Amino acid sequence: MTTRLRVAVVGGGQSCEHDVSLASAASVAAALDPATYDVVRLTIGRNGVWRDAGDRPIGLVGGLHVLRSCAVLLPVVHGPHGEDGTLAALGELAGIPYVGSGLGAGALAMDKWATKLVAGAVGVATAPATLVTRATARTLRFTHPVVVKPVAAGSSHGVGQVRGADELGPALDAAFALGDRVLVEDLVRGREIDVAVLGRPDGTRVVAPALEIVVDGLFDLATKYDGSADFRLPAVLSDVERKELEHAALDMYDALGCAGVARVDFFLTEAGPVLNEVNTMPGFTAQSQVPRMFAAAGIAYPDLLDLLVRDALVAAR
């Protein structure tokens, strides 16, 4: 009888994306082949308390005890206190192989200002932006439409478009509610194109067919989840556009030091791709963008998960 591989799937978390993370983790756990994997569910509450599969509070020490009994950690926690490298660091400290990017890549990608600096270093265009703190916000002036967003948040939380001076204060308040550093970016006009990259331990990279997001206005938190966005897969692109997007996505993936899957989001303008952000743990239900993109590449959702888990074991050797 073949011994099943014990995998810890961790969901939830303390960020605004708690519920999205729960949905991703539930989908991942259900899709892992039960003949191959012994899936152990762990949940982190909004208050930071770890809970076992029976929803019993076990705390961090109890969670670590469970993790140490597993062959692989599969963290499916989006946003701060998870995707930002926190759980990867826990895996490193505990000596547990884990799926996805490490601490450095997670922290850099979660910090949108740091991501811009990395992009500039490798020649990937980004929107002109100002880094604003609570102390400098009162001196901020602008003469054109801008987008205000927290430096470290996901799922479009706290993102607002500002077209007039009276809209700036409320937009800043919403962004500062999620962090002490805020980006004020020039509004970029272009097609919204997402590119998913899968890095393998041998150094090869798989780029899935690009996906285009079509919305009426800003792709904010409401349009992300209300069903009004039109996801077009594959995106209709010329060979030149596709190659430019793929090269820029690979440049960012490698420059940040990503591992496993990452989603690199762009605006495709007349001048070429402009980077929006990089997600090292994007939404991961079967109907989320990245699994759908790899399905279009011929890698079904369960097979993608199987590949990620096995690659994590190889990378840890």
CATH number for position 114 = 3.30.470.20
Same domain, yes or no, for 91 and 156?
Answer: no
User: Could you tell me which residues come within 8 angstroms of residue 310 by beta carbon, excluding any fewer than 6 positions away?
Assistant: none
Same domain, yes or no, for 174 and 223?
Answer: no
Rounded to an integer, what distance in angstroms lies between the CA atom of residue 162 and that of residue 84?
27
For position 229, what pLDDT does the model report?
A: 79
Structural domain of 266: 107-126+188-280
For position 218, what pLDDT does the model report?
A: 55
For position 61, what pLDDT does the model report?
A: 95
How many domains does the structure of the chain reveal? 3
Side chain identity, residue 54:
G
For position 165, what pLDDT does the model report?
A: 84
Same domain, yes or no, for 181 and 205?
Answer: no
Nearest 5°: CA angle at 24, between 173 and 300?
135
Same domain, yes or no, for 118 and 220?
Answer: yes
**Kind of pairing between the strands at 50-51 and 146-150:** unpaired
Same domain, yes or no, for 157 and 203?
Answer: no
User: Could you tell me which residues come within 8 angstroms of residue 12 by beta carbon, excluding any fewer than 6 positions away?
Assistant: 18, 21, 22, 25, 43, 44, 45, 46, 77
Same domain, yes or no, for 37 and 164?
Answer: no
Establish if 311 belongs to a structural domain. no
Same domain, yes or no, for 204 and 263?
Answer: yes
For position 128, what pLDDT does the model report?
A: 95
For position 130, what pLDDT does the model report?
A: 94
For position 227, what pLDDT does the model report?
A: 58
Rounded to an integer, what distance in angstroms lies between the CA atom of residue 276 and that of residue 85?
20
Establish if 260 belongs to a structural domain. yes
- Going from the C-alpha of 140 to that of each of 89, 112, 273, the distances in angstroms are 36, 19, 28
For position 166, what pLDDT does the model report?
A: 87
- Going from the C-alpha of 20 to that of each of 9, 55, 122, 133, 272, the distances in angstroms are 14, 18, 32, 28, 32
Q: How many angstroms separate the first and last alpha carbons of the chain?
A: 25
Of 228, 218, 232, 150, nearest in space to 184 by CA: 150
User: Which stretches of the chain score pLDDT less than 70?
Assistant: 1-2, 155, 217-228
For position 16, what pLDDT does the model report?
A: 87
For position 274, what pLDDT does the model report?
A: 98
